Amino acid sequence: MRLSRYILPTMKEDPSDAVIVSHKLMMRAGLIRKESAGMYIYLPLGFRVLRKIINIVREEMDRAGAFEFLMPELTNADLWKESGRWDTMGPEMIRIKDRNSIEYALAPTHEEAFTSAVRSLISSYRDLPLNVYQINTKFRDEIRPRFGVMRSKEFIMKDAYSFDIDEAGLEESYQTMRKTYRRIFERCGLETIPVQADTGSMGGSNSEEFMVASEVGEEALLICKSCDYKANQERAEYLRAPEKNTESIQKIETVDTPNVRTIDDLVKFFNCSADKFLKSIIYIADNKPVMAVVPGSREINELKLKNYLSAKEFELAPNNVVEEVTAAPVGFAGPVNDFKIRTVFDISVKEIVNGITGANIADKHFKNVNPGHDFNIKDETDITIAVEGDMCPKCGKPMIVKRGIEVGHIFKLGYKYTKAMNLTVLNENSKEIHPIMGCYGIGVNRTIAAVIEQNNDDRGIKWPLSISPFHVHLIGLGKSGEEIKMADEIYSAIIDSGLEVIYDDRKASPGFKFADADLVGIPVKVTIGKSYFTNKEIEVKLRNSKDMKDIKKISKENFLIFLKDLKNLIDNEGNSAIELFEKLN
């Protein structure tokens, strides 16, 4: 591809609306343009990267024995009504009507569509196990699209669904996908951390996310360095310190606490540590108020609570509801005095001795509150957020927190869709059974952003060979017709080697071309300039070599051998040309 004929609108300055490196670089290197909030245009260079990732995903899915489909993106409401998700999906699902007022959704995911399709395609246990997938656009009306392609309203996802006879089969399908995912991300040049995760609105049990460590990540992960425990903060557990509180139990007392509402206020007022307090928060779960009680030093994990309550809708109660159920203004709620609404306690609360909590009366708190004496714990579970330093639930050592970008998610769905949509096969006893499902997603666009987050410097992107838009960036610095002809010959030689090459034949200064090459980040840079015109030396340089000045000057013969080796490396899924480069001379 000759750059003089290509569309490569590089930018020297950061676009004003980009805040993370990958977004800035994708704009600056001419990979994408914004269409509107959360929607992006892939320019030719960006689309090439997207296709490379898609191809890797496809190759590995096919290798794992999955079958590729292409599903409609507009899905009939009936499908969603069958599974019950028409009502539970919420506003992130974009719904539209056609001219006949028939309702549709722009699919945010395809469990229903695939379950329905498979239902009509299979009828015997002999057809199982089955894994079907597609690489297609998804639509989600995100609360807040951000960070460019990282979180957008429209994105390309590889989604796969497995169907098995029983749980053992599902386990096997799940493990196959686990391995496949590791291969996919490795081939993309990404280092991922698999972590335990919540299953979200898809429903199901066992689940693992593939995260790319990045400060820019939207998820927080708890990671144990002493063992292999890694979990999304949404579901991370932690060991509670076996504290022996030797205080003797005191009698409950009412204390005037004028306008002392927050835990911070209370700590100052009572001059004691935050874990003395029973923080009592009112939520609305499926239209019913619920109180959650945790130690004052802890944050409530709303997702754990929501899951514990099996609530579909769940949110913090507005002030008027708090006032109504506690008979006091916000800030003075507590679980004592025969509190009438359902109250869920964190498992640490029972350890609190002589605690302090709201009195459900304006400007009053109780002190010396004790479980078993002043209130009873009927509902208890883990409803707090694990934080840095908390003890690993597996080995008891302190954990650390890292941020991560979720690029893939695999989980066991169970029977939710096959039962709701009545997908059955006959087993060997001629009995109808519901297959059990697994579900496996990869965010393709986000993977690009994650790769860039992991591979860049102040000059630009540093692509891994496997997903680089081109393999070789050829820079011609000739002026005369003769010199240009020499560079053209090298260009032809690279094409003939089977490598993908972008040839900078523009009339521009060398500095301009070098800077553009560094920004775009093609792994192998070849320069035809002075040393070729005078000594027949071709200059080869790697984008990701430690030393920017590390240039090899080689003869055309050796260059042709290098091209062959490089092609071979790429065909064998190599991701770095460093070893080849080191051997050059």
Partner RNA sequence: CGGGGCGUGGCGCAGUCCGGUAGCGCACCUGGUUUGGGACCAGGGAGCCGGAGGUUCAAAUCCUCUCGCCCCGACCA
Nearer to RNA, 100 or 271 (CB): 271
Rule CB under 7 A: is residue 121 a binding residue for RNA? no
Select the residue interacting with RNA from 166, 215, 243, 315 (CB under 7 A): 315
Minimum separation from the CB atom of position 456 to RNA (A): 13
Minimum separation from the CB atom of position 559 to RNA (A): 14
Instruction: List b or e across 458-467, with b for residues whose CB sees 16 or more CB atoms inside 10 angstroms.
Output: eebbbbbbbb
Distance CA 47, CA 526 (A): 23
Cβ–Cβ < 8 Å for 289, 281: no
Rule CB under 7 A: is residue 11 a binding residue for RNA? yes
Rule CB under 7 A: is residue 359 a binding residue for RNA? no
Using DSSP's 3-state secondary structure scheme, residue 91 falls into coil
Rule CB under 7 A: is residue 453 a binding residue for RNA? no
Nearer to RNA, 329 or 498 (CB): 329
Encoded tokens for 504? 């900078």
Select the residue interacting with RNA from 99, 340, 378, 507 (CB under 7 A): 507
Cβ–Cβ < 8 Å for 225, 463: no
Cβ–Cβ < 8 Å for 280, 358: yes
Cβ–Cβ < 8 Å for 281, 322: no
Which residues, in sequence order, are CB contacts of 302 under 8 Å at separation 6+?
Answer: 283, 314
Rule CB under 7 A: is residue 41 a binding residue for RNA? no
Cβ–Cβ < 8 Å for 334, 296: no
Nearer to RNA, 60 or 346 (CB): 346
Distance CA 499, CA 477 (A): 21
Nearer to RNA, 12 or 99 (CB): 12
Using DSSP's 3-state secondary structure scheme, residue 324 falls into helix
Q: What is the largest CA-CA distance in the chain?
A: 99
Give CA separation, 68 vs 56, 161, 265, 529, in Å.
Answer: 13, 11, 59, 47
Q: Strand locations in 17-153, DSSP E?
A: 32-36, 39-42, 67-68, 74-76, 94-97, 103-106, 130-139
Nearer to RNA, 19 or 249 (CB): 19
Binding to RNA by CB under 7 A, coded x per residue (else -) over 142-161, reads -xxxxx--------------
Rule CB under 7 A: is residue 194 a binding residue for RNA? no
Minimum separation from the CB atom of position 314 to RNA (A): 10
Minimum separation from the CB atom of position 330 to RNA (A): 4
Gyration radius of the chain over CA positions: 30
Rule CB under 7 A: is residue 138 a binding residue for RNA? no
Ramachandran bin of 413, using left for φ above 0, alpha for ψ from -120 to 50, beta for the remaining angles: alpha
Encoded tokens for 187? 């081939």
Select the residue interacting with RNA from 229, 518, 570, 581 (CB under 7 A): 518
Rule CB under 7 A: is residue 17 a binding residue for RNA? yes
Dihedrals φ, ψ of 62, to 5°? -65, -40
Nearer to RNA, 403 or 459 (CB): 459
Minimum separation from the CB atom of position 15 to RNA (A): 4
Among the listed ranges 50-58, 99-107, 412-420, 511-519, the one in contact with RNA (CB under 7 A) is 511-519
Nearer to RNA, 57 or 352 (CB): 352
Minimum separation from the CB atom of position 180 to RNA (A): 32
| DSSP sequence for 143-186 | SS-BTGGGB-SEEEEEEEEEEESSHHHHHHHHHHHHHHHHHHHH
Encoded tokens for 8? 């490569």
Select the residue interacting with RNA from 411, 440, 532, 562 (CB under 7 A): 532
**How many residues sit close enough to RNA to count as binding (CB under 7 A)?**
64
Rule CB under 7 A: is residue 548 a binding residue for RNA? yes
Distance CA 322, CA 328 (A): 8
Which residues, in sequence order, are CB contacts of 259 under 8 Å at separation 6+?
Answer: 265, 363
Nearer to RNA, 483 or 500 (CB): 483
Rule CB under 7 A: is residue 479 a binding residue for RNA? yes
Rule CB under 7 A: is residue 281 a binding residue for RNA? yes
Binders of RNA among 319-358, rule CB under 7 A? 319, 322, 330-333, 358
User: What angle, 0 to 180 degrees and rounded to 10, lies between the N-to-C axes of helices 21-28 and 444-454?
Assistant: 100
Encoded tokens for 340? 């009438």
Rule CB under 7 A: is residue 509 a binding residue for RNA? yes
Nearer to RNA, 56 or 526 (CB): 526
Nearer to RNA, 138 or 279 (CB): 279
Binders of RNA among 216-275, rule CB under 7 A? 261-263
Instruction: Characterize the bridge pairing of strands 342-346 and 219-224.
Output: unpaired
Nearer to RNA, 144 or 244 (CB): 144
Among the listed ranges 102-110, 140-148, 223-231, 495-503, the one in contact with RNA (CB under 7 A) is 140-148
Rule CB under 7 A: is residue 286 a binding residue for RNA? no
H helices then E strands: how many in the chain? 16, 31
Select the residue interacting with RNA from 41, 121, 168, 316 (CB under 7 A): 316
Instruction: Please state whether the peptide bond connecting residue 91 to the residue before it is cis, i.e. omega within 30 degrees of 0.
Output: no
Task: Give the CA angle between residues 26, 32, 36 to the nearest 5°.
Answer: 115
Nearer to RNA, 18 or 499 (CB): 18
Nearer to RNA, 415 or 533 (CB): 533
Binding to RNA by CB under 7 A, coded x per residue (else -) over 371-390, reads --------------------
Rule CB under 7 A: is residue 300 a binding residue for RNA? yes
Residue 56 has a CB neighbour count (10 Å cut-off) of 21
Rule CB under 7 A: is residue 529 a binding residue for RNA? yes
Rule CB under 7 A: is residue 307 a binding residue for RNA? no
Nearer to RNA, 286 or 299 (CB): 299
Rule CB under 7 A: is residue 531 a binding residue for RNA? yes
Residues that bind RNA (CB under 7 A): 10-17, 19, 34, 36-38, 143-147, 261-263, 279-283, 296, 299-300, 302, 315-317, 319, 322, 330-333, 358, 459, 477, 479, 507-512, 514-519, 527, 529-532, 539, 541, 548, 551
